[in-house]
Structure 1
Amino acid sequence: MASDTPTDRERMVAGRTYRSTDPELSAARAATKRVLHEYNATHPDDEEHRLELLRGLFGSMAGDAWIEPPFRCDYGAQISMGKYVFANYDLTILDCAPVTIGDMVLFGPRVTIATASHPIDFHQRTVDMFEYAEPITIGEGAWLGAHVIVGPGVTIGAHAVIGAGSVVTRDIPPDVVAVGNPCRVVREITEADREAYLAAYGGFDA
């Protein structure tokens, strides 16, 4: 007779307290590590094989993505990857809860996306070994600079720019520049940004 008690994996996906030491979860992480070991050891020219590995690893993948090795994640199956995503070296995604990444998102080096967290209470954290996780969403066209950390439950809006070294603990609206620890909005992105860029660096010749 089937048990009505949810498994730790079911509890994790539902955003409830779970134990990562559960054998099913441990086996899933081990399988992901084997895939990532192969991915991170690929020849620099073997782009097709890396894409094949990512398609098998992620829960969904809308189109081609370029993720520079080394890349690390917990499970992979809870990552939904948009098309034309670029991630520089050392992207880490702790996908204990769903991670949704929109089209044309850019990640600088050593960005960390961390859905997982632990109780503040010492006994729950170390003796009971409880964990929990909250989903993260990165909107279309967002750009996260080098060493950005995104915490559990955060949504970053479309086209937002997150300055290097920022620690994002709260939602960031679309079309803004946000920086700092904790990360805060400093201004909106406007047409003046396009004009200033063209004035400073020029466009492509026709």
Structure 2
Amino acid sequence: MTPTEIDKKRVEYAYTNLSNLPKGPEYEKMILGMAYNCWVKELLMARSVAHEKALDYGNIRLKNYDFDIEKHQEARHRYLAAIFGKVPKDAFIEPPFFVDYGCNVSFGKCFYANFNCTFLDPTFITFGDYCILGPNVTFTTFSLPSDPKKRINAVEHTAPITVGNNVWFAANTVILPGVTIGDGAVIAAGAVVRSDVPANSVVAGVPAKVVKSYATEEEKKEAFAAAGGVF
């Protein structure tokens, strides 16, 4: 069900913990999954600036810093910090990458993304520590209605993506809105993830399904019970 009231706690979380935000009523509705107008000046401007900064990131040249790799990496981090909501010093993102807004994405420590990763982030995309992205990985937090009458009116739905610690996304994976991925999971190459992924599991296929688990028997029982099962 689409929310109809502002969740003040989630808005406060964004304003307190994330950077580069286009603050305002439409932004607040957007991150909460409410109906919003993505064409208001503030949101259009934020997207356009983020798109250009992401493109500029690929033009940071080592030769312009006298082949000093530390200065080069510092320059890269300054660009990332001007795009994303939260990015630690040790994050490493290969160019090119693409964002919708960028400001709603937060990374944990030791984050790495390979070439051509895409973050469509009208709402939150949150990574834990030690996450690794292969090339051409896509995270999208918004979708359009299948009803063409609603779609033609530019109605959008958003839902956050949450990623635990030590998760590996292999090449060409797609993560859809509202998904939560547990600690230690592996998303196999080409997988399309549209439902939650248990911790310490490997998922593969379209749609992605669990093909292997590294969980102990006790962890499996706890997860099963938490989902409403009975042993």
Task: Compute the TM-score of the two structures, normalised by the length of structure 1.
Answer: 0.85
Of 68, 71, 87 in structure 2, the residue corresponding to residue 61 of structure 1 is: 87
Partner of 2:195: 170
1:36 and 2:62 matched: no
1:190 CA displacement = 6.2
- Determine the structure 2 residue equivalent to 1:204: none
Count of matched residue positions in the alignment of Structure 1 and Structure 2: 186
User: Which structure 1 segments of 5+ residues have no match?
Assistant: 192-206
Other-structure match for 2:115: 89
TM-score after normalising by structure 2: 0.76
Q: Residues of 2 paired with 1:62 and 1:48: CA distance?
A: 12
Is the Cα–Cα contact under 8 Å of residues 85 and 104 in structure 1 kept in the other structure? yes
1:29 counterpart letter in structure 2: R
Higher deviation after alignment, 60-69 or 141-150 = 60-69
The worse-fitting range, judged by mean Cα deviation, of 99-108 and 21-30 is: 21-30
Do the aligned residues in 1 keep the contact of 2:199 with 2:215 (CA within 8 Å)? no
Q: Percent identity?
A: 38
Cα deviation per residue 1:80-111 (whole Å; 9 max; x = unaligned)? 11110111000100011100011110100000
Q: Deviations over 1:126-168 (max 9, x none)?
A: 1x21112100011110001000000000011111001000000
> Partners in 2 of 1:179 and 1:112 — Cα distance?
15
**Corresponding residue for residue 151 of structure 1:** 176
Alpha-carbon distance change, 48 to 63 in structure 1, aligned in 2, over 3 angstroms: closer
- Conserved 8 A contact 1:20-1:131: no
What secondary structure, in the 3-state scheme, does the structure 2 residue paired with 1:177 have? Answer: strand
For the aligned residue pairs, the C-alpha RMSD in angstroms reads 1.8
| Pair 1:15 & 2:40 matched | no
